[in-house]
Amino acid sequence: MPYRKATNCIHGRHFEAKEGTNTPIYPSSVFRYREVDQNIYPRYYNTPNQEVIIEKLCKLEGGHRGILFSSGMAAISTCLFSLLEPGTHMVLSGSVYGGTFYLVEKEMAKRGISYTFLPDTEVSSFEAAIQDNTRVIYLETPSNPLLQLTDIARVADLAKQRGCITVIDNTFASPINQNPLDLGIDVVLHSGTKYLGGHSDLCFGVVITSEELYEQMYPQAINYGGSLNALDCYLIERSLKTLEVRVRQQNANAQQIAEFLETRREVRAVHYPGLGSHPQHELAKAQMQGFGGMVAFELAVDNLAETGQFLDHLELIQPALSLGGVETIICSPSETSHIKMPKAQREAIGIREGLLRLSVGIEAVEDILYDLNQAFEKSHQVFRQSQAV
């Protein structure tokens, strides 16, 4: 019978082993080549430790084939450079991860590839941007950091009508909360460094797709060499076993925190798909099974110095890079994820200097709320000064 996600996180391929339920670690770069169906080599992405992870993720995402990479950006770059050729064009959501933006801005023109960043996430904007040579439509939903949503099924239908391949960064949602392949998307990407790893100690990425598109990407992946070692693979598989329970708790905590932030006069805006006030809340309910562990909120301040004073008062929540771990961390996108995007362009898409991105962990939610509350109370002078201007 087909198992549910929580079960598929834990159970995968059964290897022949006399003891233990965990996959044996094969810390070898050398494998015998005779009497085997294919040559096995880490850079070929086909060692036992690599394959067992892909099998689990294919079950979780509803895909057929996949490739495990040493970083999320290795997954994104290999995917895009495999699907795009000189003279082709791609359309991207306007609000994407800063690393994706930087890759496109710095590398596509060198390869003779043109692109269009959209001003919003409306399906009509995607339709208007498609050209005769458009090959790829790239989505990120919920987006980083403003948690804007795109109607996945409608964009997938549009792409099929126009002969385009759809690629989605599903990092913020995780396969527990959202399965874009079931909605018609062609390729799903993850920065596994975030929720899939979940313990802030791994760096990896993954592509999950169809057999056909896998065959198109696989040779490029071998040539670019972004593979992962067996010991990291062991840690990834260990982390996946708790993915479902971690994400469910992060969803629940984030919902309470977002509702709390909406009550604070020190906060100008709260961005969270689970809130009734989110402009795309109904869409979130339609295409997501959970609203995620990411909350963005904008402080009622006007510069990074004032934002930094609020961050200085936090005690439990740590200002730190990345996201998706079991601990709650916070960052200013203007100084971290989107630092390579010009300030004017950041602000045009809503990333102002008072914006903070909160990655909610699995601590007792009462403790997270207490820390936010005490930081607001200690920062009253900063907020009063800002509001008086």
Catalytic (active site) residue 43? yes
DSSP 286-342: HH-SS--SEEEEEES-SSHHHHHHHHHT-SSSEE-S---SSS-EEE-TTTTTTTTS-
**What number of other Cβ atoms are within 10 A of residue 387's Cβ?**
11
Distance CA 101, CA 106 (A): 9
Active-site position among 26, 45, 56, 97:
97
DSSP 247-301: HHHHHHHHHHHHHHHHT-TTEEEEE-TTSTTSTTHHHHHHH-SS--SEEEEEES-
Distance CA 380, CA 42 (A): 55
Entry field: residues in the chain: 389
Active-site position among 59, 135, 154, 194:
194
Strands (E) across the chain are located at 65-69, 89-92, 114-117, 134-140, 165-169, 187-191, 205-209, 267-271, 294-299, 318-319, 329-331, 355-359
Catalytic (active site) residue 264? no
Distance CA 136, CA 165 (A): 5
Active-site position among 45, 59, 151, 169:
169
Catalytic (active site) residue 378? no
Active-site position among 5, 41, 43, 302:
43
Distance CA 324, CA 193 (A): 8
Catalytic (active site) residue 26? no
Distance CA 355, CA 237 (A): 34
Enumerate the active-site residues: 43, 97, 169, 194
